Structure 1
């Protein structure tokens, strides 16, 4: 396991260099969830305490299937009530529109980093990935190695700073705020062109 993590880690460093040079598009893919009950951020509590507010109804959730563009730092998210292979394919269709081949336009190779979760390795998902093999390559992460996936920190940032301390009456009311939060997050993370920076004497 340690050897696999080291090997993939070295491979990811090479891919990052290629993405930084503009030779490829490098995407980190993963899934997470948002809850109708609030996330608590920056609060005092005893170590190990459950940082949740008691509520009379059970929390509902929305699945977030996303990819993080390594170079632009932009997060692309598909939301769903479920977390199934069909939802992963719906997210792949988002990537089609953003990175897939366009007639008359040059296309950069895209490398998608994914774990070996069942929604990625199902027959349905494998067929969808195979249909995109002419422009999309998957780099599979070793099991139990979330530290190799850069999107993990972005999920944490999204929940702790953009969805924290808010309660939603139901899952329907949560869906649009997720997309609004992703938009705000991407705006914060958007690189500032050097020409737009103002330097004082």
Structure 2
């Protein structure tokens, strides 16, 4: 919950120092899809999850079943086949996830090369959130952070120009040759 700082000040000749009491053991994860279809506005579909206190031994990230549920919900919302461009997160390559993907005729998955965040459009979304919603804010508790992130993501959902900018910034081709009904999407 340490906030990214975009601006600060101090007296001339003094280096500004920002003090933070301690790091929290609580964790928040967000899974997001940047969706594109030629001739339609781009979409952002996301799911935040608060994992709670990890001293109790809880999971620190999304489980494969939560990614599966998000893909199913996205497919229902979009009403079209999905071409998914994924990074190499270990959960994305889980054997249960691979079995689920293989069983779906509406889902095609491509994996990005290792260490290629510049090819992932969702990284652009996270960068925008860090520079706008999270910048210069000391969050009081996890629910404050979640509220701010949801507000920022909701604003981005209605800005298809920003989502398209993140998609085109990757340099990946946005036109899929197989069919017009395919929607390439990307996860973090």
TM-score interval for Structure 1 and Structure 2 normalised by the shorter chain: 0.5 to 0.7
Aligned partners of 2:95 and 2:119: how far apart in 1?
25
Say yes or no: does 1:78 pair with 2:47.
yes
Matched length: 143
**Corresponding residue of 1:25:** none
Tell me what 1:90 maps to: 69
TM score, norm. by length of structure 2: 0.64
CA deviations 1:134-156 (Å, max 9, x no partner) are 11111111111222222211210
Paired residue for 1:55?
Answer: 20
Distance 2:69 2:18 in 1: 33
Return the alpha-carbon distance in structure 1 between the equivalents of residues 42 and 129 of structure 2.
13
In structure 2, what is the equivalent of residue 38 of structure 1? 3
TM-score by length of 1: 0.60
1:143 aligns with 2:114: yes
Out of 133, 154, 162, the residue aligned to residue 162 of structure 1 is: 133
Which of the pair has the greater relative contact order for Cα pairs under 8 Å at 6+ separation?
Answer: 2
RMSD: 2.7
The answer as to whether partners of 1:113 and 1:141 remain within 8 angstroms in 2 is yes
What SS is found at the alignment partner of 2:130?
helix
Report the equivalent of 2:93.
121
Q: What is the CA–CA distance in structure 2 between the aligned matches of 1:144 and 1:74, rounded to whole Å? A: 25
* Distance in 2, Cα, partners of 1:186 & 1:94: 16
Q: 1:94 to 1:158 in 2, by over 3 A?
A: farther
Equivalent position to 1:64, from 9, 30, 43 = 30
Partner of 2:78: 99
Q: Could you tell me which runs of 5 or more consecutive residues in structure 1 were left unpaired when the two chains were aligned.
A: 1-35, 45-50, 101-106, 192-201
Q: Secondary structure at the match of 2:159?
A: helix
Can you give the 5+ residue segments of structure 2 that lack an aligned partner in the other structure? 10-15, 52-59, 163-188
Give, in angstroms, the shift of residue 163 of structure 1. Answer: 2.2
SS in 2 for 1:120: helix
Measure how far apart 1:170 and its partner are: 2.3
Deviation, 1:42, is: 4.7
